[in-house]
A and B are shown apart, each in its own frame.
Chain A
Amino acid sequence: MVGIITYGAYIPRYRIKVEEITRVWGANAADIKGGLGVFEKSVPDLDEDAATIAVEAARNALKRRNVDPEKIGAVYVGSESHPYAVKPTACTVGEAIGATPNMTAADYEFACKAGTAAIQTCMGLVKSGMIPYGLAIGADVSQGAPSDALEYTAAAGGAAFIIGNDNPVATINHTCSFTSDTPDFWRREGQAFPRHGGRFTGDPGYFKHVKGASNLLFKEIGTSPKDYTYAIFHQPNAKFPQKVAKDLGFKSEQIKPGLIVPWLGNTYSGASPIGLAATLDIAKPGDRIFVCSFGSGAGSDAFDITVTDAITSKDFHRDAAPGVMQLLKDPIYLDYALYAKHKGKIVMQK
């Protein structure tokens, strides 16, 4: 049965608080925090990028379980902030974990759902018997334009999943997707910051596709929200996932462990993956997990997952790598000037 063999996450140490950003732009911190449900977001160090985050997440996954990297037959990295437009992050990751040269690789882009798309691809390659293991990563050092609403939430982080069918810690029983051509949020080639359609990103964007994929999955395998222990939804802010969960019929306790956006921000391609990682950090054998990501442009990937006995077996050492809560601890706060320096938002001499 195909599933998650091991997983790992990585979140940079630095943070900036919403009130520090509002201070600079003259906005009202209480309004923003109340409206988005986000207090602070993660910021990459000066020498971190989507590739270093992807590598650290992958290495954390490998710390938890004895997987021979040479048996990883595919590496896919999903990000909106790949360091190169041409030259895959997946190659750097593959080399850094010792999976090269006998593997396939490619980078994915699908806004915030590139990481879950990578999981689906790995599932197909494993299920078809083409590869023993595949590595799927969602990692980002997301950009929000200065003073734009996205600046309050665009954060840095990532999670990695090794997919296989040899005693997974969680089986992925089913996956399906709902995709359309929708211009809710986009970034043109060469542009530094994304643009978005304001309120258009809600119903025609996020809600239509998350509901579309979720309901499609429930219909295809005959499940409903009450069948799940936990649920993770894409979290651009705290309000959207809470609303879609309620609309679909999930309870707030179900989404709680996977809802980390209030202290992390929106890590774009890392968002649903990190939410899933945070949930797996506390899951027990038999727990059933529902995941539905969302990527602008637009589409959603839904997953039905069952945690197995392997997660508490001697083959898997959850404590060998830091969990998401651990990664969120002991942050180092930056002011806006240092934040801008870290994010390359200061104009330098070329």
Chain B
Amino acid sequence: MMKNIIKAGVLMCTGMMLLTACNKYLEVDPDNRTTLDTPDKVAQMLTSAYPASDYICFSESMSDNAGDRGHSGDQYSGDLLVNINAYKFIDYASTNPGSPDVYWQGCYQAIAAANQALDAINKAANQTAYKSYKGEALLARAYAHFMLVTFFSKTYDPATAANDPGIPYVLAPEKTINPAYERKTVKYVYEMIEKDLAEGLPLIDNSAYKVPSFHFNKAAANAFAARFYLFKKDYAKALTYSSQVFPGNNFKDNLRPLNTTLSTATRAERKAAFTSPDSKSNLLLATTGSTWARAWLGYQYGLNEAIAGNVFYSGNITKGSLAYNIFYYGSNNNDRGIEKWLENFVYTGPDIGNPYIYVPLFTAEEVLFNHAEASARTGDFNTAMADLNIYYSTRVVSYDPAFNGITLDKVTAYYNKAADPLGATVQAILDVRRSEFMQEGMRWMDILRNKLPLTHIDDKGAVINISADDPRKVLQIPQEAQANGLAPNSR
């Protein structure tokens, strides 16, 4: 009997040893998934740390760049509500690209990727090997939050920022289903952005990137800082950062060659050039799932004859003609546009797939305008005028500095603001921004930052007046986020 007990015992012990061995045995990953255990993998993770959805469609439709084109939208544009509801300032839920909900998603997806990378970096033994990627992750996280707070909260105002509701600032990967998130305040969000920016910017190292134009390179990081401080109304810092983008502030060689090389390009070449990674103007490109390239032309509300005339053909300070190629399409004179967007359709099935565009998140032109505005606002009108002249030298057909060159006097005279040189300069910059960034969605950010009022008239003649402080300027928090506890914006 004893012998049998021993035999049984031996067998059971073998079993117990197997049990302990089991946990090791079960450590194997079930499939080809990866873990972020090398700097190279962290770098790869950060390719998805940029918003993969566009703000162009809704922000362009909300801005005064959009007007009624006199026909209903066509089928090739897909979902038309992304255009119509934005134009009419109607809150709605959507899962279609071009809607605010989907942009919200895209930003938080980018943030999740950045946080996943930061999480891996914090756990890594050798922090220095990850230094530059930590910088990129912090900047990417700051950028996505900045865009969210810009669209979904009240524009930063030092007087009210401590009370205006912000957007959740996410600092770590989500580990459970639907944890609680809170909005806190715009001031808090700006502080967090500034913190990430300050920590991340010095760590950026261009040599760490395989394709720098798709990553927060040194120039793009400084361009972001300049935009951020302009919104924060810290003009000295905006000037500092906008001066660090190009060595020796050589803007001229980095602007789009509209009145030279591109003036003879075919339409297909223009499209390709605008979002090309080879363009020196494109400081940072984001791979963006978007129907904008195919859709903008068919939307009911967009660039029409009246707005095109107003922005491009009603004269400018230089008295020259601008080298923008505004095309109109088909029989309708209202379907105006500029060939900026080249679509890359990635097939997922025989006839279906997803369209992608490559949105320049920061361009040399924007840096130049920010540099000019920050200079003017800190009292340096000479630099502001010099910057504008650099800009016009690449835009005016057959530019002649003697004839086309502008001065502060010409600017104040043009805007009839002799007593307000700053107001005139800012207005001049706003105007070039509007024409330069037509159909890029940037105009809406200018409207927000400068508290501009606007008026939309829909196809039935109904007038929608949006005042300077209209609450509808702030996009509504997506329904699903509200359902999960976020307070809606006031209406």
Q: Do A and B bind each other?
A: no
